[in-house]
Structure 1
Amino acid sequence: MLFRLFILGLALASTASACTIPVFRFALDRWEADAFHLVLPPSVSQDAAVSDLLRPLRANGKANVSITSAPEATEAALKYSRESDHLVWSGALNAQTLPMLLDSPARQELLKKILAGDSVIWVIVEGGSQEDKAEAERIEKRLGFLEQVAALPVQNPNDPDSQLGPGPPLRLKFATLRLRRDDAAEQPLIRMLAGPEGKVDASTTSFAAAVFGRGRVLGAWPLADLDDASLEDACMFLVGRCSCRLKNENPGWDILMNVDWEKALAAVKADAPPEPVIPQEPAASNAPVTVTVTADDHVTYVAVKWPWQWTAGAVALLLSIAAVMLLRKK
């Protein structure tokens, strides 16, 4: 509930922001991924074979990971950050385990969807039961509906405060990616998706996580708790205007990905067709217009659009009244 209220507050605040770039695209353009912390025991850090494996990561490597040696450590461990003690993985670091920490088939699929311009990818981690399958299908159906009724903020290509960086054309797409909870190749990723606070037990709980930007996770929810309203809140926040530009003031955490984002986005930009200019809203008529969009039994949106001429006239009238009152006092 607190998370929903926080998302609602950010969404309401975004309406006053001058920047019209959606949250998911602002994150892709400007938010660097937080570094994970790989801790090595002395025996591993002094091993020549392991040093050769780690050399590409130390010299301005692509992966968002920092590496240190700890005298008290008895085995290698991957943590969310230098400040966090929450383990993602621990064990023997070698030519078999290191690649699994840095990448996986699901992360390659996430990268493909992000570079294609998908707004958010809901990774559904399920246990294989019929209940899990039914919940996954419900989520996919709901996302398909939301994709039809949602809209991106109108973009002004001449606004210097709302310029997109290199990357795919701006589009609205709510995608899904299903994983089995017992997939051995995806265990580090599944733990990363579950989050550093331990609110979701990735080993026993089927859940869904919303991924956007450069591998940023907005949140993770057990499938049984992820109702239509929570799905809607998260999706509408991510496609709404980015009101808070500081990454650490937004909810979420990152996953470890072995990607040079600047080069990857520049390559997409070079191959992408020109981005279409989204037209501004047409001029209003001389009468207020009431727009009602009925989604389903869950929620109905009602918005009243007033012509700008009426607003300007009202402001002018109030200023005239105030001027008359001041003259009378004199």
Structure 2
Amino acid sequence: MRLATFLIALGTSAACACTIPVFRFALDRWEADKFHLVMPAAVSQTPEVQDLLRPLRANGKANLDFATAKDPALKDTVLRYSRGDDEKQVWSGKLDASSLAAVLDSPARQKIVQQLLAGDSVIWVIADSGSPLDTAEAERVEKRLKFLEQVASLPIQDPNDPDSQLGPGPPLRLKFASLRLRRDDPAEALLLRMIAGPKATFDPATTSFAGAVFGRGRVLGAWPLEILDDASLEDACMFLVGRCGCRLKNESPGWDILLNVDWEKALPAAATSDPKSAPTVAAIPAQPPELRSMIVPAAVPELLTINPEEPVKGSKGVLIAGLAAGLALLVLIPRWLRK
């Protein structure tokens, strides 16, 4: 299961001279994909909506753009992923001050940004129902993350290597964080839909799951808790703290979430701030009760699906390199565990 899931990524990273960990390379260099907010013509031209959008046009921070629909049949405003042919609808409904605030931000998203700017390697967002079974599964994940944090290590950094220079931002550190959410929280329904991804195999409103967020809000993958075993957690975490093997974001696994932050300003500020004195999460306008009912049902997934029966795809060269790297990892892990 674990080898089949991350084989190609591990094989690619083995041949790279860059010693920057994957999570930090993404934070330094990978711009977040934009989401598209598409409005009916009758909506986009109203004075109220024009006033709402004016600050976004003048000084927009979120990875969001907006446009007027060409289809006259469109009645509601829709929010879509931006992944080329994989564009999927995330939300639809009436656009007003309250719904726009819920689209742009939420308390949990602010917490994620705060932790990323503090230097956390990855934030595992765990969405559960609060049942005893889910609580036990979530605690298992958190316990395993604490253990992995103790045995993992970052690549040794060479300050004289021009290919391994960190960008402005928080100090480089190894931290596997977790963020527990209730999957029925209406204020976070949109976030959980985005973490589940454009091709999710499950409905985040009815399935307890965990997703790994890193970089500037990129999701490595999201899995139901019932199939997210310790080995898969280890694969994901070790991949993210390992050497960055692919400099091209579009050739790396994952998708982005919508965050309302100006990274070009926030990262230099994080380099000079004390993580312990980071500001607390500000209050966000309450999400309309009807917003949750507007979340589009999950689509059929393909990205980072754990399926031990599915053959690994790719060229022979990548496959051989991946096997070598995977076997090397299996040899090294017992050594880490004995330390």
1:128-176 residue CA offsets vs partner (Å, 9 max, x unmatched)? 1111100000000000110010000000111111000000000000000
Checking the alignment, whether the CA contact within 8 Å between 2:40 and 2:76 is kept in structure 1 is: yes
Q: Which residue of 1 aligns with 2:121?
A: 119
Q: Which of 132, 135, 138 is the aligned partner of 2:134?
A: 132
Q: Helix, strand or coil for the counterpart of 1:259?
A: coil
TM-score (norm 1): 0.81
- Going from structure 1 to structure 2, the CA distance change for 1:113 and 1:302 (only over 3 Å counts) comes to closer
Checking the alignment, whether the CA contact within 8 Å between 2:189 and 2:205 is kept in structure 1 is: no
Q: Which residue of 2 aligns with 1:62?
A: 61
Q: Which residue of 2 aligns with 1:79?
A: 80
Please state how far the C-alpha of 1:6 moved relative to its aligned partner.
Answer: 4.8
Counterparts of 2:115 and 2:104, CA distance in 1: 18
Q: What one-letter code is carried by the residue in structure 1 that aligns with 2:183?
A: R
Q: Which of 247, 254, 257 is the aligned partner of 1:255?
A: 257
Please state how far the C-alpha of 1:47 moved relative to its aligned partner.
Answer: 1.1
Please state how far the C-alpha of 1:17 moved relative to its aligned partner.
Answer: 1.0
**Percent of aligned positions with the same letter in both sequences?**
67
Please state how far the C-alpha of 1:88 moved relative to its aligned partner.
Answer: 1.2
Q: Which of 185, 209, 212 is the aligned partner of 2:211?
A: 209
Q: What one-letter code is carried by the residue in structure 1 that aligns with 2:100?
A: L
Q: Which residue of 1 aligns with 2:29?
A: 30
Q: Helix, strand or coil for the counterpart of 1:179?
A: strand
Q: What one-letter code is carried by the residue in structure 2 that aligns with 1:68?
A: A
Counterparts of 1:4 and 1:56, CA distance in 2: 47
Q: What one-letter code is carried by the residue in structure 2 that aligns with 1:21?
A: I
Counterparts of 1:60 and 1:7, CA distance in 2: 39
- Going from structure 1 to structure 2, the CA distance change for 1:9 and 1:85 (only over 3 Å counts) comes to closer
Matches within 5 A, 1:166-205: 166-205=168-207
Q: Helix, strand or coil for the counterpart of 1:59?
A: helix
Q: Which residue of 2 aligns with 1:47?
A: 46
Please state how far the C-alpha of 1:271 moved relative to its aligned partner.
Answer: 2.7
Matches within 5 A, 1:1-330: 1=1, 4-70=3-69, 71-81=72-82, 83=84, 84-271=86-273, 300-301=334-335
Counterparts of 1:268 and 1:186, CA distance in 2: 26
1:57-109 residue CA offsets vs partner (Å, 9 max, x unmatched)? 22351110110111331101101127444221111110111011100000010
Aligned residues: 280
Counterparts of 1:142 and 1:272, CA distance in 2: 28
Q: Helix, strand or coil for the counterpart of 2:97?
A: coil
Counterparts of 1:271 and 1:129, CA distance in 2: 39
Checking the alignment, whether the CA contact within 8 Å between 2:151 and 2:336 is kept in structure 1 is: no
Q: Which has the higher contact order (CA 8 A, sep 6+)?
A: 2
Q: What one-letter code is carried by the residue in structure 1 that aligns with 2:181?
A: L
Checking the alignment, whether the CA contact within 8 Å between 1:153 and 1:241 is kept in structure 2 is: yes
Please state how far the C-alpha of 1:207 moved relative to its aligned partner.
Answer: 0.3
Please state how far the C-alpha of 1:203 moved relative to its aligned partner.
Answer: 1.5
Q: Helix, strand or coil for the counterpart of 1:245?
A: coil
Counterparts of 1:179 and 1:86, CA distance in 2: 24
Counterparts of 1:20 and 1:170, CA distance in 2: 12
Counterparts of 2:73 and 2:58, CA distance in 1: 25
Counterparts of 2:83 and 2:228, CA distance in 1: 31
Checking the alignment, whether the CA contact within 8 Å between 1:200 and 1:220 is kept in structure 2 is: no
Structure 2 residue runs without a partner (length 5+): 276-329
- Going from structure 1 to structure 2, the CA distance change for 1:13 and 1:301 (only over 3 Å counts) comes to farther
TM-score (norm 2): 0.79
Please state how far the C-alpha of 1:46 moved relative to its aligned partner.
Answer: 1.0
